[in-house]
Amino acid sequence: MSTPPRFQRRPAAFHGERLWIAPEWSARLADAGIGPGTDWATVEGDQLVSQSPATRCFRTTLADGEVVYFKRYVYPRKFWLEFWMRAGKAAVEAWAYDRLQGLGVPSLEVIAFGERRIFGMLIATFVVTRGIADTIDLSEFALEHWYPLPRVERRAIARELSDGLAKQLRTAHAGGFFHHDIKWRNVLVRQREGHWETIWIDAPRASRMRFREHRGVVVDLSCLGRMAVQLLCPYECMRFVCRYLGRERTPGAAKNLFREVQAHLDRRPPKPLVLPPRPDD
């Protein structure tokens, strides 16, 4: 079994097609229409998970029962210059997941990646990731499973998830990684051996933010805060900021950062959640 290359946040090719497929997955993905000599830009999986004008994401069960997610970006001619000599979104995602795993932050395993360019213009690109069993996104988990729980149980789960996520965020930022869209829907949750674990996904906008690290900190905290401010009390939100900064934080640092995040949210207020009544309300 070969070790995957360290993906780069840059174009994979200048002209023509560039493919990378993990050797142990090549035969299985070829059966699904993804591989050398296939028109992967038109491949459709078993279940359409999400879509936009240029993007389709499919959930596919392979012949051996393994679940993979195939996300492809196919651009109309009028958008070919959008990523001219710039990393496409699939390349950024592959780099992001590889970088997060290298930093010790749980993320997706990339098993295939490819792109097509014409003299630097991005025509189509894709990334395939391995499915993770027994997970649910944090947004769905919070609204459908966590929110109706009794207060004591809610608080215990929230603290465990909050502490783990704050540590992951601090690790990612210390390693020069900024997600830019780490909303609750882009965090998976699962319970293993009695403990809750969070897994980062969907990072087509991730970057290093050199010389603008503090801006990246505020943006990522604001993304997490969009649902947090509606489901958690101010004390719990401040506690998350304190856990993120760690014990070595300077006096007043948590309060100042909390205010910056709040100001960012005030400029772009989150959409109000419609919450059902709870037995202990």
Q: Where along the chain do its domains lie?
A: 16-130, 136-267
pLDDT in tens, 7-60: 999 999 999 999 999 999 999 999 999 999 999 999 999 999 999 999 999 999
Query: Cα(260)–Cα(104) distance, rounded to whole angstroms?
Result: 28
What's the CATH code, domain 16-130? 3.30.200
pLDDT, position 4: 46
% pLDDT > 90, the chain: 91
Phi-psi category of residue 175: left, alpha or beta, with phi > 0 → left and psi -120 to 50 → alpha: alpha
The answer to whether 123 and 116 have CB atoms below 8 angstroms apart is yes
Say whether pLDDT at 280 is over 70: no
Q: Provide the mean pLDDT of the chain.
A: 94
Query: Cα(207)–Cα(93) distance, rounded to whole angstroms?
Result: 10
Say whether pLDDT at 61 is over 70: yes
Residue with the two structure tokens 């992001």: 96
Query: Cα(273)–Cα(41) distance, rounded to whole angstroms?
Result: 37
The answer to whether 147 and 153 have CB atoms below 8 angstroms apart is no
Give the residue-averaged pLDDT of 92-116: 97
Query: Cα(206)–Cα(173) distance, rounded to whole angstroms?
Result: 11
pLDDT, position 142: 96
Which of 193, 113, 116, 191 has its CA nearest to residue 157? Answer: 191
pLDDT, position 279: 67
pTM over 0.85: yes
Distances (CA, A) of 12 to 128, 130, 189: 16, 21, 32
Say whether pLDDT at 281 is over 70: no
**Topology, domain 136-267:** Transferase(Phosphotransferase); domain 1 (1.10.510)
